[in-house]
């Protein structure tokens, strides 16, 4: 079970320090893995604050080159250097605001894999695909265009674009159907089994029903991960879910 906290462009130094104070009073479980994706300038700062805790840090994106004249970009090598274990690639905000294409996302994912980062590859349909009944087909095609040629450590995050930051989520059978489809598509095309996280408006109220979906292996949480109380409540729900399913 995996809990990813995507802080996006939120939480400054003071807020991060307060967030981490509360983490020290919490008893983490070895069964649930957690990774926080802070804003880049605070990577080292956060990593130092949580180095005694079983939480890793990750980058919100990386470039496909290891170095060069790419103003404003970050090298996968530098993420590794600052202690990152994971990197999110292909988030819908990068696709829509920064015009990252499927092909570019594939290059970024491959470069991250080659640098020994674990990749969380994001895919997801928009509302019109869903309403017209094309969601499975759209996500399948997006996935096939973005999957790196070779990988060991890769998770897929299913994040319907219409669900991100909106409070709306697909129903549990739609989530299960999509996750099952993603797993089958990856297995068929690469002979590899992948874990699939659900992302989009995950919060304290809906976490139990999402984790009960059979094909959900964890969650990628944005807004609700900014408050330490909610982050820990989501983490605790994952621990409880695992304990109940044993």
Give catalytic status of residue 93 as yes or no. no
Separation CA 231–CA 207 (nearest Å): 11
Nearer to ligand PGA, 3 or 202 (CB): 202
Q: How far is the CB of 202 from ligand PGA (least distance, A)?
A: 5
Q: Using CB under 6 A, count the residues that bind ligand PGA.
A: 13
Separation CA 215–CA 173 (nearest Å): 10
110 binds ligand PGA, rule: CB under 6 A: no
Give catalytic status of residue 104 as yes or no. no
Query: What DSSP line would sit under 209-225, residue for residue?
Result: HHHTSTT--EEEESGGG
CA distances from 246 to 54, 216, 239, 241 (A): 22, 16, 11, 9
220 binds ligand PGA, rule: CB under 6 A: yes
Q: How far is the CB of 94 from ligand PGA (least distance, A)?
A: 10
**Contacts of 216 by beta carbon, 8 Å cutoff, 6+ apart:** 175, 176, 179, 196, 197, 198, 210
207 binds ligand PGA, rule: CB under 6 A: no
Q: Which of 60, 75, 111, 201 binds ligand PGA (CB under 6 A)?
A: 201
54 binds ligand PGA, rule: CB under 6 A: no
170 binds ligand PGA, rule: CB under 6 A: no
221 binds ligand PGA, rule: CB under 6 A: yes
Could you tell me which stretch among 54-62, 113-121, 131-139, 222-230 binds ligand PGA (CB under 6 A)?
A: 222-230
Give the single-character DSSP code of 117.
P
Catalytic residue from among 33, 104, 140, 159: 159
202 binds ligand PGA, rule: CB under 6 A: yes
Both tokens of 212, joined, read 């009960």
Both tokens of 10, joined, read 């939120």
Could you tell me which of 67, 82, 148 has the C-alpha nearest to residue 113?
A: 148
Q: Which residues are catalytic?
A: 91, 159
| Contact residues: ligand PGA, CB under 6 A | 6, 159, 164-165, 199-202, 220-224
């Amino acid at each position: 079970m995996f809990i990813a906290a995507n802080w996006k462009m939120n939480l400054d130094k003071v807020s991060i320090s307060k967030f981490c104070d509360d983490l020290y009073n919490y008893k983490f479980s070895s069964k649930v893995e957690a990774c926080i994706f802070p804003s880049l300038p605070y990577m080292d700062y956060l990593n130092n604050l949580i180095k005694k805790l079983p939480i890793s840090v990750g980058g919100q994106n990386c470039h496909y080159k290891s170095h060069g004249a790419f103003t404003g970009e970050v090298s996968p090598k530098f993420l590794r250097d600052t202690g990152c274990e994971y990197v999110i690639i292909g988030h819908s905000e990068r696709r829509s605001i920064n015009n990252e294409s499927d092909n570019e996302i594939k290059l970024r994912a491959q470069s991250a894999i080659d640098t020994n980062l674990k990749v969380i590859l994001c895919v997801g349909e928009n509302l019109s695909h869903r309403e017209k009944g094309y969601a499975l087909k759209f996500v399948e095609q997006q996935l096939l265009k973005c999957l790196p040629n070779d990988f060991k450590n890769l998770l897929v995050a299913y994040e319907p674009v219409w669900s991100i930051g909106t409070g709306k989520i697909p129903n549990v059978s739609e989530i299960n159907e999509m996750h099952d489809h993603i797993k089958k598509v990856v297995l068929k095309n690469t002979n590899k089994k992948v874990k699939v996280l659900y992302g989009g408006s995950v919060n304290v109220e809906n976490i139990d029903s999402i984790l009960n979906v059979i094909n959900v292996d964890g969650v990628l949480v944005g807004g609700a991960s900014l408050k330490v109380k909610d982050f820990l409540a989501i983490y605790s729900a994952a621990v409880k879910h695992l304990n109940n399913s044993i």
